[in-house]
Structure 1
């Protein structure tokens, strides 16, 4: 089935309708939110996931050689983005596997290649920074990241301080519910 990529505003509305869930929700750092962006609901909708991946493809810098999905929320997005672009894909674990291969990275080779990190939501930027550091130590060239949603909690600044450009598809204010005063 062939689909047409939505215009940015229409895609933002579709993403909000599917993935913006009313709360309350408590994040890992203890922060409480009245609504939450549930990337798994987006990933569970094949048409929306495909259209989101096609839109993310337009954010990839020229010269991207490998995509790297960050565990766990970035993985389905990275798989869809890889399918949409034909770029090879690596998977970045938070910690090395404790058995079997003992690897931190799975999939495509990243050493010496220009890798773009893929994640779902960027808040502080800490998880992307950690993934980038580990990939750089392993010899990857990491200068860019893409995400579906950026929340203005310092992530872009932190990443820029470490020579990482953040390319978000959407920011909080692009989501219709956020314009009405909700926070994601």
Structure 2
């Protein structure tokens, strides 16, 4: 799909969380643009959800976290991963029509994650004290490198071009 076509698809239909999605087997890539300031916009993760910030700034309020009241600032070159069933409320303090806040998400089905996890558990030795690996929190917020940002761009290209990979 051409860059011009993607730009046309991204044209604002709604001002808050204007979303376009590209589905593949067991996964989906979405681009979210927000064009006006908003508070406490709810996002529910049905599947494992990786979020990569592209432009702008968000404040992420996660349930059950100590930072729920003030939230965590989410900027470009940062990643936010949500477990299935996770909920976050998002503030868009700086979003405008001229300077939208943009985020890229990659959603991976629970079945695919389970399949990969099973293969890892079968092929790697399990520590004596641990039966299976588990995360202690339903969300993970971290900085990522320029290479990760390039990988996100490449994934978006593969999905938008309906590439067989």
Would you call these one fold, judging by a TM-score over 0.5? Answer: no
Given the two structures, how large is their TM-score scaled by the length of structure 2?
A: 0.28
- Between 1 and 2, higher relative CO (CA 8 Å, sep ≥ 6) is seen in 2
Bigger share in helix: 1
Bigger share in strand: 2
Larger radius of gyration: 2
